[in-house]
Amino acid sequence: MLEQPLAWRHGYELLKATGLKSGTLYPLLMRLSDQSLLASEWREPEKPGKPPRHVYRLTPDGLALAREQARDAPMPAVAGKWAGAKA
């Protein structure tokens, strides 16, 4: 969400990107939404016969907080992957 702040993402897409379970992801989304850090809206289905889906993206406040957190927190997993790719 931080990499492409303007992009709307589906719940399942977020689940795959984060590796979280749905039972963990949705309470997080609810909490972020309660704190006005997350915006959500309904999107019409891309394929006919499918139901509309909820999409999410960070609000400006959420984005500022995420950037702050990302700056403070080390990212060993990503660094490791990049190091491996280079090697």
Partner 1 sequence: MTDNIPLLRQCAVTLMRYAVRIMPDARAPWAPAMQNEMSAIESDGEALRWAIGCLAVSCIQKIKISFGGFMNRQKINNVSAVIPVVMSFFALLIVLTVVITGWERHLKDEGAAAHIFQILIAAQLPFVLSFLVTANWKRGVLVARPLAFQFLAIGLALGSVAFFRL
Site string for partner 1, 40-59 (x = CB under 8 A): x---------xxxxx-----
**Using N-to-C axis directions, what is the helix angle for 11-18 and 22-34, rounded to 10°?**
110
The residues, any chain, with a CB within 8 Å of residue 57's CB and separated by 6 or more, are: 1, 5, 6, 7, 8, 9, 38, 39
Looking at the Cβ atoms of 7 and 64, the one nearer to partner 1 is 7
- Residue in 5, 8, 11, 66 binding partner 1, rule: CB under 8 A: 11
Interface contacts to partner 1, rule CB under 8 A:
10-12, 15, 21-27, 29-30, 40, 50-54
